[in-house]
Structure 1
Amino acid sequence: MSDYQCLEYKKVGMVTAIHLNRPDSLNAFNRQMRSELLIALEHANQDSDVRVVVLGANGRGFSSGADLAEGFLDGQTVEDQILDEYGPILSLIGAMDKTVIAASPGVMAGVGAAIAMRCDLLVMAETGNLMMAFSNVGLVPDGGASWQLLRYLGYQRCYALMAEGGRIDASICLNAGIANKLAPADQVLDTAMTWAEKLALRAPVALREMKKLLRQAADDSYDETVKREAKAQKICVETADAKEAMQAFFEKRPPVFRGE
């Protein structure tokens, strides 16, 4: 689609690739890019032919965070901006039926890192890193970054990272579970696309229900999760895809999933 100024949007088979495209600012989020990203994600989510979304970036990094030079709208506070302009993006990534893979070719900082961590999966450059430099300018992390990092790193490591305005390398992100895969910087996007194409061949309904279960499980009790799993399993068992998988098993062939 050619209507975007700050993004590139491309559909390849059952995968949509959305690339942040402000490389001169290290893909800092200005108002235009926030608006376009929400529109692009909504478009991909509404496309029934799309099963996986890759959220990548052009240039040396995923994003340096918010574009601090832009400022706020008249009467707008920073709280308003976070909730009104970033909030819908973060909510949609978590709620959409599609699997979303973030692909970071270098640094991911601030709210850019928060958006990458909000995705279902993450591929990072081997030489990349995650930065939480908020305290260097007297600010706190936002975009849900503190929620994410606390769960990955534990309180002490998370607090040290945030308080010192520090960074953690890609290898540490991989070991902590923040990143799923590492790749050379110039192969990050291709690695994410190859992974997306493989996932797109799997049963869409099952992947959708898995995502819902995992997103909810952090807030549910064990017993509540068992009940949710049972309901999700009922949905999956009744799909044509489940019947196709069983047939393919007996016929000793790969299943062909249609999302039905």
Structure 2
Amino acid sequence: MSDTPIIETREGGIVRLHFNRPKVLNAINTVTAEALLAAARRLQADPDVRVVILSGEGRAFMAGGDIAQFRDDPASVPATLIEPLNAALAILTTLRAPVIASIQGPVAGAGMSMALACDLIIAADSTRFNFAYVNLGTCCDLGASWSLPRTVGLHKALEIALLSDPIDATEALRLGLVNRVVPADSLTEETDKLARRLAAGSPIAQGTLKQLMRRSFERDFAGQLDAERQGFATCAATDDFKEAVNAFLEKRPATYKGC
């Protein structure tokens, strides 16, 4: 494969960002972080993107940050590694398009944080999570302290973070860390199937739902009711809404144009 750190491919409205440093288990360095941010900005500017997939080449999705960079220039990490990654994830979490993490093998440190930031996670049965940060004498990054307690609850999150015991795919599914577990040899096929299903849906409805869910922790119940009312009004004013209603009454599949 190419030596570019992220390979970007597209099929219709489905964009795959494929981490491509398999010799180091896709450990993320500054070059990779900057490439991810550049890709995220392209996606943000493209209204035709329906689904985004994050995946990794080789036997791992991502085994955390690049330890060589930590050793050689630790002072540079916050500015040259964490900041562009934070900016990239801030974009991906606010995209209208759902973001799927398609993961396998070791998923540790920043790899686990990045996966948890995605909207959906499909995991090969070979997946092994490890929070890992404390093993390097540091706290977490990339939003893990936000997403992990919201996924598994505070006390379980603290256990996962402080002990950093490995978590296999079966346990990850039980805890809600992933949405689906599939055989490793069918991960790409099952991910693509899920992506195509999402891409066939209404992008406005999906994007509105995504943001309602993600921002629900910021509001009280009354505030969320109002946000849902506004979101429904936005969706109901679209051609996609009219198409969906007509398709339902006519007993046929709807075709969504995103307007």
TM-score normalised by the chain length of structure 1: 0.93
Between the aligned partners of 1:82 and 1:19, the Cα distance in structure 2 is: 18
Aligned length: 259
SS state of the match for residue 124, structure 1?
strand
Whether contact under 8 Å (1:56, 1:189) holds in the other structure is no
- Paired residue for 2:127? 128
Q: Deviations over 1:200-237 (max 9, x none)?
A: 11111000100110110012111110000000000000
- The RMSD of aligned alpha carbons is 2.0
Q: Deviations over 1:67-105 (max 9, x none)?
A: 021249989554434652221012111111211000002
- Paired residue for 2:23? 24
Is 1:46 matched up with 2:45? yes
Whether contact under 8 Å (1:18, 1:55) holds in the other structure is yes
- Paired residue for 1:225? 224
User: Partner amino acid for 1:90?
Assistant: L
Whether contact under 8 Å (1:16, 1:52) holds in the other structure is yes
Between the aligned partners of 2:256 and 2:65, the Cα distance in structure 1 is: 40
SS state of the match for residue 48, structure 1?
coil
SS state of the match for residue 62, structure 2?
coil
- Paired residue for 2:61? 62
- Paired residue for 1:154? 153
Structure having the higher helix fraction is 2
Between the aligned partners of 2:15 and 2:78, the Cα distance in structure 1 is: 31
Is 1:10 matched up with 2:9? yes
TM-score normalised by the chain length of structure 2: 0.93
User: Partner amino acid for 1:187?
Assistant: S
SS state of the match for residue 63, structure 2?
coil
Between the aligned partners of 1:148 and 1:250, the Cα distance in structure 2 is: 40
Among all aligned residue pairs of Structure 1 and Structure 2, give the percentage whose two residues are the same amino acid.
Answer: 32
SS state of the match for residue 232, structure 2?
helix
SS state of the match for residue 17, structure 2?
strand
Whether contact under 8 Å (1:82, 1:143) holds in the other structure is no
